[in-house]
Structure formats: C-alpha cells, structure tokens
Amino acid sequence: MKITYIGHATVLIELDGAHILTDPNFAPRLYFFRRLSRVGIPFEHLPKIDLILQSHAHFDHLNKPTLTRFVKDTPIIAARGLSKIFQRMGFTDAVSLQKWQHAERGSLKITAVPSKHFGGRVLLVGYILGWSGFIVEGKEGTVYFPGDAAYSQKYFQEIGRRFRIDVALLPIGAYRPRWFLKNKHMNPPDAVQAFFDLQARYMVPIHWGTFRLGLERPETPLAWLDELRKEYHIKERVKILQFGESFTL
C-alpha cells in the first residue's frame, strides 16, 4: 500500500495494484482562492486512475475543471446523490452509496461511512446533496478517507469498531473561526482524537496548506499537529507528508 499526498483532500492511494484518487482537485485557484502550494503530482504525470472517490460536492472538493480531464469511463464512487452530477458530465460508471452501503471493484471493497459535515455545492446551501467518508479495504490493507469532517466521537468510534484501519487520512485545516467551523471541520486536536477513536495504525493529515479557506495561517495546522504528535508520543504513527511525498506500508 502506498499513500501520496497531492494537496487539499486529493490523495493517490495505491492498493492491490489499483490507483485510487480522492476528491480530485488540481486547479490553480478556486474562484478568488489561489492555490498556495505546488500540486504534489502534476495531472499529466498521474498513473491510470482505476477509481475516483468523491466525498461531497463542495466546490473545493468536487472540482469540475479537474474532472473534465479524466476519461469518461473512469469509475467513480460518490456520496448519496452525486452520481447524477457525474452522469451529466458524461461519465459512464458513476455510482452513489448511502451510508454503510458498499461496492466492489476487483479485490477492493469500498464502504460509505457517516461523516459529520454537510453537502451541496456552496457553504450556505448545505443539505441538497449527500456527503460521506469511505473505507477502502483490500488485500494489502484498509484506508479511511472522510473527505471533510467535523469531530464526532460517535461516528469515529463506530467506524473504528467496524473496521481495522491501517491508514486514516484525516483533515486538519480550515477550522477558524471556530464558532462557525467547529461543526464542519476538525482542527489538529480533533484529528488526533479522531485517530485515537478510530484505533488506526497510522494517520496522514490532509486538507492543509493548499487553499486558504479558514482564517488560520496556512502553516499553522501542520505545526500544531507536529507539536501534538510529539506530546502524545505518536510521531512514528502520524506521517506528515509534504506535497508529492509518499508513505508506503
């Protein structure tokens, strides 16, 4: 199993010989938010993508300019209600899953799991479309991708009971102002607690340093997480990947 951080919530997962891409976003800007970092892997250098996972439809996660660059027979597994967006874009193999439903692709089993967030395309129109995390199980291991998620002890502990997670891809950025974003995004302490709740072997932080969508400084989430992993003596289990860097298990 190999995990490569591309940026924001876009991660390349190599599992059982398949190449899986989460919430693909290779855009240089999102409206007036410019990309702050290089893309970890340029789009043209990607391997053939065997599966796209789409957690929800917010504009920073479901990026249509990026998606139009994929061949239209690329398989897509998405949260509830999102398959129709892909079908309108011409994709021929897009399915939506309700929570706890699963689909199989070769040796992989993909299960939609609950997430504390909201759907829609923009911040203030929240519940028209679904949102979910995904568990990807293969012969080589199990990966958890929540997309965006606020902290929920109930959800994380239940997911941890149901699955033996090898790598949890946990978001750590866009958390300020807290009064507004606490129920939408985790901060680094939330992510560490989620890691413990999930009982995962390893954590890879995502959703940091790519677009400035919160009021914290772009470098703050990673620095805070680095302090926490030292404080909790989990430095060897929390794998901080720079853009384009990989972790092989």
CB-facing half-sphere around the CA of 90: CA atoms within 13 A:
7
Q: What is the pLDDT of residues 190-217, one digit of tens each?
A: 999 999 999 999 999 999 988 787 777 8
- The span from the CA of 238 to the CA of 229, in Å, is 7
Q: What is the pLDDT of residues 133-163, one digit of tens each?
A: 999 999 999 999 998 888 999 999 999 999 9
The answer to whether 75 and 93 have CB atoms below 8 angstroms apart is yes
Indicate whether 127 pLDDT > 60: no
Q: How many CB atoms lie within 10 A of CB 50?
A: 18
Indicate whether 186 pLDDT > 80: yes
Q: What is the pLDDT of residue 119?
A: 54
Q: What is the distance of C-alpha 212 from the center of its chain? A: 17
Q: What is the pLDDT of residue 124?
A: 43
**pLDDT > 70 fraction of the chain, expressed in percent and rounded:** 92
Strands (E), 124-230: 133-138, 141-145, 167-171, 202-206
Q: What is the pLDDT of residue 15?
A: 99
The CATH superfamily label for domain 2-248 reads Ribonuclease Z/Hydroxyacylglutathione hydrolase-like (3.60.15.10)
What DSSP designation does 11 have?
A: E
- The span from the CA of 110 to the CA of 117, in Å, is 20
State both tokens at 36: 């702050």
Q: What is the pLDDT of residues 64-104, one digit of tens each?
A: 999 999 999 999 999 988 888 889 999 999 999 999 999 99
- The span from the CA of 178 to the CA of 142, in Å, is 31
Q: What is the pLDDT of residues 36-71, one digit of tens each?
A: 899 999 999 999 999 999 998 877 778 999 999 999
Q: pTM of this prediction?
A: 0.92
Q: What is the distance of C-alpha 69 from the center of its chain? A: 20
More confident residue, 234 or 32: 234
Give CA separation, 52 vs 105, 110, 154, 197, 209, in Å: 11, 11, 27, 26, 22
Burial of 204-239, coded b for 16+ CB within 10 Å and e otherwise, reads: bbbbbbbbebbebebebbbebbeebbeeeeeeeebb
- The span from the CA of 173 to the CA of 219, in Å, is 9
Q: What is the pLDDT of residue 181?
A: 65
Bridge-based pairing state of the strands 10-15 and 18-22: antiparallel
More confident residue, 245 or 132: 245
Torsion of CA 234, 235, 239, 243, to 10 degrees: 140
- pLDDT band at residue 177 using 50, 70 and 90 as cut-offs: confident
